[in-house]
Amino acid sequence: MTKPLVLTHLRILDPSRDLDETGAIIVVDGRIAAAGAGAMNQGVPDGAEVRDCRDLVAVPGLVDARVHTGEPGAEHRETIESAARAAAAGGVTSIITMPDSEPVIDDIALVEFVLKSARDRAVVNVHPAAALTKGLAGTEMTEFGLLLEAGAVCLTNGRQPLHDTQVLRRAMTYAREFGAVISLETRDRYLGANGVMNEGLLASWLGLSGIPREAELIPLERDLRIAALTRGAYHAAKLSVPESVAAVTDARSRGVNATCAASINNLTLNENDIGEYRTFFKLSPPLRGEDDRSAMADALAKGEIDIIVSSHDPQDVDTKRLPFADAADGAVGLETLLPSALRLHHSGSVPLMRLIDALSTRPARIFGLDAGTLAPGARADITLIDLDEPWILSRDALLSRSKNTPFENARFTGRAVRTYVSGRCVHSV
């Protein structure tokens, strides 16, 4: 057990209670004992560590629901341990890891491997997602019940879209019986199959094949129809255009149990950032136009986009230092998730309460995690933020094993300065 902790004179922002007030947080035995303006009324516990946190904001520890690691099979790109360190540095206290590994996480022994590795070496909470289909091949369902019982928090096909509609129907029907969420990326098998960036004038100028928005929208609408048919819980993993958000919103109005996420990249970057074929900006889904990015930020502010994910996807020089069309998709994002999201707050695009809700409270609620709140009795996962600290990201300072960040040398305002997991400090600036 860690000794009691008292954080004083800080602004407390807790979307789970719609709480925004100045006060204190008291932590006893790794749990929140009190948090708010009246927390100090009960006095300071004996032997407590007391920290004056004036000018800082305390929020529930962030939850990143889409994190790729290289373990097992590609530990040179990222391990569970290094991903956890990177998460802590970014103020993220809980991560959901994807099953795309070698071997694929489609068996209970592999779910248990991820959980044991996390217990032994990770400084944050690690929750494995299990493969929806064996080998992510999209043809044969995995043993949902056994995987969930072993500790998987949702079912997904990782980077691979699920093309077989009959398999999807059976999977969503089966998952419904376990109350499980199915999380899928939506990408048409043929439409824009050879595309490498957003379809439009810029792609033509650069001489690159484009990916139209319909390549995302058409399979999404199919998925939503299947979710309605089966009454299953469906999560659209990474949306990039406002038409997709509108489709989810419309489905929800018809009673479909659907939620959606957007990558922080699609909320803060646009296709112009690709510049002279910069492969660190080659992402999936691709960066869209500025009008799309702005509309997505508006949808986030309205709550139509439920959550933000980093889409952390480490790649090494062998897969990124290539011609743009040949380079792998993906960027690291655990350490830049919060500071890049704070750009939306500082620009006035998204209120801070809604931003923290999308980064912590709502993902915890969607995937049933013990996280996302500072309510008394909750696990003391806390992120302390300096909203106004200016800093420049150095690629070499990243704790991730891979350095493929689109935010190299970016100027940020605001960052996580201290991260607590179960009341224990796991990162401090």
- Domain CATH number, residue 39: 2.30.40.10
Domain boundary among 317, 340, 366: 366
Query: Does residue 282 surpass a pLDDT of 80?
Result: yes
How far apart, in whole angstroms, are the C-alpha atoms of residue 171 and residue 182?
Answer: 8
160 and 290 fall within a common domain: yes
Closest by CA position to 68, among listed 308, 371, 263, 331: 331
**Residues 152-168: what's their mean pLDDT?**
96
Domain boundary among 366, 389, 413: 366
Exposure string for 186-199, b = 16+ CB within 10 A, e = fewer: bbbeebbeebbbbb
Whole-model pTM: value is: 0.96
To 5 degrees, how large is the angle CA 276–CA 280–CA 286? Answer: 90
213 and 90 fall within a common domain: yes
Beta-carbon count within 10 A of 319 CB? 17
To 5 degrees, how large is the angle CA 392–CA 395–CA 396? Answer: 115
The confidence band for 2, taking pLDDT boundaries of 50, 70 and 90, is confident
User: With the C-alpha atoms ordered 54, 60, 65, 71, is the resulting torsion angle positive or negative?
Assistant: positive
**Residues 21-29: what's their mean pLDDT?**
97
Residue 76: inside a domain: yes
Share of the chain above pLDDT 70, in %: 100
To 5 degrees, how large is the angle CA 269–CA 275–CA 280? Answer: 65
Give the total number of structural domains in the chain. Answer: 2
The pLDDT of residue 96 is 98
316 and 275 fall within a common domain: yes
**Residues 118-142: what's their mean pLDDT?**
97
Q: What are phi and psi of 192, to 5 degrees?
A: 70, 25
Residue 203: inside a domain: yes
Residues with Cβ within 8 Å of residue 216, at least 6 apart in sequence: 186, 187, 188, 239, 240, 241, 244, 285
Query: Does residue 272 surpass a pLDDT of 80?
Result: yes
148 and 254 fall within a common domain: yes
Residue 140: inside a domain: yes
How far apart, in whole angstroms, are the C-alpha atoms of residue 304 and residue 198?
Answer: 23
Sheet containing strand 125-128, edge to edge, reads 62-67, 92-97, 125-128
251 and 239 fall within a common domain: yes
176 and 106 fall within a common domain: yes
Q: What are phi and psi of 394, to 5 degrees?
A: -100, 125
Beta-carbon count within 10 A of 205 CB? 8
122 and 153 fall within a common domain: yes
Residue 94: inside a domain: yes
Domain boundary among 366, 389, 420: 366
Range(s) of the domain holding residue 332:
60-366
DSSP letter at 179? Answer: T
Helix count and strand count (H, E) for the chain? 13, 19
205 and 230 fall within a common domain: yes
Residue 416: inside a domain: yes
212 and 281 fall within a common domain: yes
Query: Does residue 1 surpass a pLDDT of 70?
Result: no
The pLDDT of residue 380 is 97
pLDDT, tens digit (0-9, with 9 covering 90-100), for 197-247 = 999 999 999 999 999 999 999 999 999 999 999 999 999 999 999 999 999
Residue 28: inside a domain: yes
Residue 375: inside a domain: no
Query: Does residue 75 surpass a pLDDT of 70?
Result: yes
pLDDT, tens digit (0-9, with 9 covering 90-100), for 77-99 = 999 999 999 999 999 999 999 99
Query: Does residue 259 surpass a pLDDT of 70?
Result: yes
Beta-carbon count within 10 A of 86 CB? 29
The confidence band for 192, taking pLDDT boundaries of 50, 70 and 90, is confident
146 and 190 fall within a common domain: yes
The pLDDT of residue 18 is 97
How far apart, in whole angstroms, are the C-alpha atoms of residue 276 and residue 266?
Answer: 19
Beta-carbon count within 10 A of 428 CB? 12
The pLDDT of residue 411 is 97
191 and 313 fall within a common domain: yes
**Residues 250-258: what's their mean pLDDT?**
98
Residue 347: inside a domain: yes
Q: Please report, for the domain that includes residue 217, its CATH number.
A: 3.20.20.140
**Residues 415-419: what's their mean pLDDT?**
98
Query: Does residue 394 surpass a pLDDT of 90?
Result: yes
pLDDT, tens digit (0-9, with 9 covering 90-100), for 32-43 = 999 999 999 888
Spell out the SS3 assignment of 317-383: HHHHCCCHHHCCCCECCCCCHHHHHHHHHHCCCCCHHHHHHHHHHHHHHHCCCCCCCCCCCCECCEE
53 and 67 fall within a common domain: no
